[in-house]
Amino acid sequence: MIVRHTVDLPLHTGRCPKWLFDRMVRLSRAILLFIYEEFGEDELIKRVCDPWWFQALGCLLGFDWHSSGLTTTVGAAIKEALKPYFQEIGFFVCGGKAKTALKTPQEILHWGDKAGLTNDCQRFVNFSRLVARIDNNAIQDGFQIYFHLFVFTKKGNWGVIQQGMEGNLGYARRYHWQSFEIKNFCEDPHKAIISALRKQEVLNLVARKSKATQTAMLNLLKEDLPIVLKEVKMAGSLFFKPSHSLTEKDISPKVLRKIWESTYENPPQEFKDLLLTPGLGARALRALALTAELIYDVKACREDPVCYAYAHGGKDGHPYKVNLKVYEHTINELEDMLRRLKISQRDRITLFKRLPRLYSNSKKIEKF
C-alpha cells in the first residue's frame, strides 16, 4: 500500500538563523531517537513522512508554521540530527534542496552500501526517480519539484518528502510518500492530500479515473506514427475550436515524433515504465495523453488531488517569538529521557508519564 499526502505552503524567503537551526537539530534528534528506541525504524518513516506529524514537528521546532521553508529546514535538521546514527539505527536520510536533491541517487548508493543493502540500492534509486517523475510530470498541477528527501531502513522500507514551487501564485506544495506493502504507483497513490490551495483543473495521470487513459497511451505507442498524426488531424477538425480548451499547441507533431523515437526500440509495457522513459517530461506526457483522449475517446482525471500545533513560537514572531528558555528546557528534558530509556522498563514507564507535564513545566519557566 502506498500512502501519499500533499501540503500547500506560501513561499517565504530568507535563511533559518544558526541559533535556531542548531536547536532544531538537537530537539529533532532527541524526539526522533526517542521514537526509534520505543517503536523502531519503520515507525520513524511513518512519523517523518506523515504530513500532519511532519507539520507538527516543524511547529514544535519553532519554525514558521505556514511557510515553505518549514519543509526544507526541518528536512535538513532531520538529516543533520540523525546522520551520526544512520548505521547504528538502520535509518538513512538522503537528498535535500536544489543541488543536494540531485545527489540523492549517489547518497542512496553510498549509505545503502555501508548498510549492506547492495541488492536494494538500485531499487531505492528507481523508487526515488519514479516518485519524482510522478509528482513533477504525471501530476501536472503547476508545481515544479525542487526538494526531494528520500528515507529508507535496513528492512527495505522507504519514504519520500518532496516539495514543488508555483512561482506565479507564490505557493509551495509538499508531497509525502510512505511505502509499506506497495501495490501500485499509478492508481490513486494518495491516502489523503491536504492543501490550503485547490486548483480548478490539473492533469492527474495517476488517478484511478485516468486508468483508461494510461492504457490508451500505452496502446497508442504500438501504432504507426503517420497513422496517429492522420487521425489527430481528422479529429482535430472537430476538436480544435476556439471555445475548446484543447488546442493544436497541446498536441505537437514534433513532440509526438520525439515520443515515438524514444520508445521505438523498447516500448513501455506498464505506465510506470513510460514515466521513467529518458527524455519524456511533462510536456510529452501531456501531448500523449491528449492524443489518446482524442483518438480513443477516453478522459484523464482533471481533479486536483487535494483533499497545528504551537509549542515554542516561530522565528518570524508568529504566533509569538521563540522563547529560548522554554526551548532549551524541552531539549534537555527529552535528551535526559532518551539517555535513561535504556535503564529499565519500569523507569521507561515513569519517563513517559513525565511527557504530559512538559508543557505545563515550560509554562512555569516562561514566567521567570
Torsion of CA 178, 183, 188, 193, to 10 degrees: -20
A 10 A CB-CB count for 206 gives: 26
In this structure, which long-range contacts are made by residues 29-34, counting pairs with CB atoms below 8 Å and at least 24 apart in sequence?
A: 29/81, 29/82, 30/331, 30/334, 30/335, 30/337, 30/338, 31/57, 31/60, 31/334, 32/78, 32/81, 32/82, 33/82, 33/85, 33/89, 33/338, 34/334, 34/337, 34/338, 34/341
Whole-number pLDDT of residue 247: 61
- Sheet of 171-179: strand order equals 2-10, 171-179, 158-166, 144-153, 91-97
Q: Alpha carbon of 53 to those of 47, 49, 60, 309: distances in Å? A: 6, 8, 10, 10
Q: Do residues 5 and 189 touch, judged by C-beta distance below 8 A?
A: no
Q: Alpha carbon of 197 to those of 7, 62, 68, 219, 228: distances in Å? A: 9, 24, 13, 35, 38
% helix, strand, coil for the chain, step of 5: 55, 15, 35
C-alpha grid cell, residue 215:
492504457
Q: Alpha carbon of 265 to those of 159, 222, 259, 260: distances in Å? A: 33, 11, 11, 9
End-to-end CA distance of the chain: 50
C-alpha grid cell, residue 4:
501519499
Cα-trace Rg, the chain: 24
Give CA–CA dist 169/79, Å, rounded.
Answer: 29
pTM comes to 0.80
> Which residues lie below 8 Å from residue 185, measured CB to CB, with a gap of 6+?
2, 130, 131, 134, 206, 272
Residue type, 194: I
Q: Do residues 271 and 257 touch, judged by C-beta distance below 8 A?
A: no
Give CA–CA dist 132/122, Å, rounded.
Answer: 15
C-alpha grid cell, residue 2:
502506498
Torsion of CA 196, 199, 205, 211, to 10 degrees: 90
Give CA–CA dist 105/126, Å, rounded.
Answer: 9
C-alpha grid cell, residue 335:
535528551
Give CA–CA dist 174/167, Å, rounded.
Answer: 14
- Overall residue count recorded for the chain in this entry: 368
Q: Each residue's pLDDT tens digit in the chain (368 positions)?
A: 555 555 555 555 557 788 889 999 999 999 999 899 889 999 999 989 888 788 878 878 865 545 567 888 999 999 999 999 999 999 999 999 999 999 999 999 999 999 999 888 999 999 999 999 999 999 999 889 999 999 999 999 999 999 988 877 777 888 989 988 678 999 977 655 655 677 889 999 999 999 999 999 999 999 999 999 888 877 655 555 555 555 667 788 889 999 999 998 889 999 999 999 999 999 999 999 999 998 999 999 999 987 633 445 555 565 556 667 767 776 776 677 667 656 555 565 565 555 555 445 544 544 44
Q: Do residues 152 and 87 touch, judged by C-beta distance below 8 A?
A: no
Whole-number pLDDT of residue 265: 85
Q: Is 313 left (phi over 0), alpha (psi -120 to 50) or beta?
A: left
Give phi and psi for 240, each to the nearest 5. -80, 80
Q: Which of 269, 133, 279 is nearest to 214 (CA)?
A: 269
A 10 A CB-CB count for 226 gives: 8
Strand pairing category for 171-179 and 2-10: antiparallel
Whole-number pLDDT of residue 5: 55
